[in-house]
Amino acid sequence: MKVLMVDEGNSRAKFVVYQNNQYEPLPSWQICCEQHSSFDKILIASVKSEAESIANEIKAFYPNCLIEVLTTPKQAYGLTNAYIEYQRLGIDRWLAMLGARTITNHACVVVDAGTAVTIDVVDASGQHLGGYILPNVEFSANKLAERSGKITLNHPTHPEISLGQSTEACVFNGLYASHISLIKQVVEQQGIVSGKKQPVELLLTGGNSDVYHNLLVNSAVASRVESLLVFIGIQCYL
């Protein structure tokens, strides 16, 4: 089966072709249309309210393909949603956790570092315990600069969490340090169950996952980057 997987995020859409247990990321919708004339199925995950209109746009180009827009359930594939209003959990977060459950049977902390930074915790039984949503560092720094009106902030090439020695470094290092500190705290808390240390996997995904991975390495916290985590979650629906 040849499947097109679509992850429509807040800032951009990502496309992956799944075939023969292989994931092939595509750089753009245009390339997808140029290189692939048809699919057996198209699965769409969108955090935007106009998901159905996105599906219709894709349907216009692939009229003979079965298209399914994924929604967040209360429970499926061994994962249970912590939200009381379960439909309000972002489909990207749900799929990232599903992907994590596919990769590991241990308790896990899933960090998606994109337009927003989300942190979700899943125990070893597959129960989602809840999470956090943070504005990303770039957004927070820009808002601070806008409010002050006196500073210009450029994102550092190599972010650090050490003490800053310039206004830029103080702002960015402070923001990253707060994120890394929270992630470490969540991992440490989840590692203590009934007074005994339990294995907890820290999985990172999203556009800034490599940055967080490097900062965590420097903080002696083990983590792994899984750039296709959402798509691994989508694969559960096949």
Is 9 a known ligand-binding residue? yes
Instruction: Label the pairing between strands 128-135 and 41-46.
Output: unpaired
Is 142 a known ligand-binding residue? no
Is 83 a known ligand-binding residue? yes
Q: Is 92 a catalytic residue?
A: yes
Is 210 a known ligand-binding residue? no
Q: Measure the CA–CA gap between 88 and 131, rounded to whole angstroms.
A: 13
Q: Tokens in use for 206?
A: 């999203």
Is 112 a known ligand-binding residue? yes
**Widest CA span in the chain:** 59
Is 92 a known ligand-binding residue? yes
Give the active site residue among 92, 120, 123, 210. 92
Is 14 a known ligand-binding residue? yes
Count of beta carbons in the 10 Å neighbourhood of residue 234: 25
Is 12 a known ligand-binding residue? yes
Is 13 a known ligand-binding residue? yes
Is 10 a known ligand-binding residue? yes
Is 205 a known ligand-binding residue? no
Is 91 a known ligand-binding residue? yes
- Amino acid found at 63: P
Task: Name the β-bridge partners of 134.
Answer: 117
Give the annotated binding-site residues for K(+).
112
Q: Annotated binding site for ATP, which residues?
A: 7-14, 115
Q: Residues comprising the binding site for substrate?
A: 83, 90-93, 167
Known binding-site residues equal 7-14, 83, 90-93, 112, 115, 167
List residues with catalytic annotation. 92
